Amino acid sequence: MKQPEEIFEYLKQKFGEDSIGFEAPEVGQPWIEVDASAVKDVMKFLRDDKELRFDVLMCLSGVHYPDEEAVGVTYHINSTQLKHSLALKAKAPIDNPFIQSVESVWKTANWHEREAWDMVGIKFKEHPNHKRILCAEDWEGHPLRKDYVQQEFYNGMPTGDN
- List interacting residues with another protein (CB under 8 A): 134-136, 139, 143, 148, 150, 154-155, 157-161
Min CB(107)–another protein separation in Å: 25
Does the CA dihedral 27-28-30-36 come out positive or negative? negative
Residue closer to another protein (CB basis): 96 or 129: 129
Residue closer to another protein (CB basis): 65 or 139: 139
Burial tier of 77 (Cβ tally within 10 Å: 0-12, 13-18, 19+): buried
Min CB(120)–another protein separation in Å: 14
| Beta bridge partner(s), residue 72 | 63, 91
| Beta bridge partner(s), residue 17 | none
> Which residues neighbour 119 within 8 Å (Cβ) at sequence distance 6 or greater?
62, 134, 142, 143, 144
Min CB(141)–another protein separation in Å: 9
Residue closer to another protein (CB basis): 128 or 160: 160
Min CB(155)–another protein separation in Å: 6
Residue closer to another protein (CB basis): 1 or 136: 136
Residue closer to another protein (CB basis): 40 or 142: 142
Min CB(21)–another protein separation in Å: 35
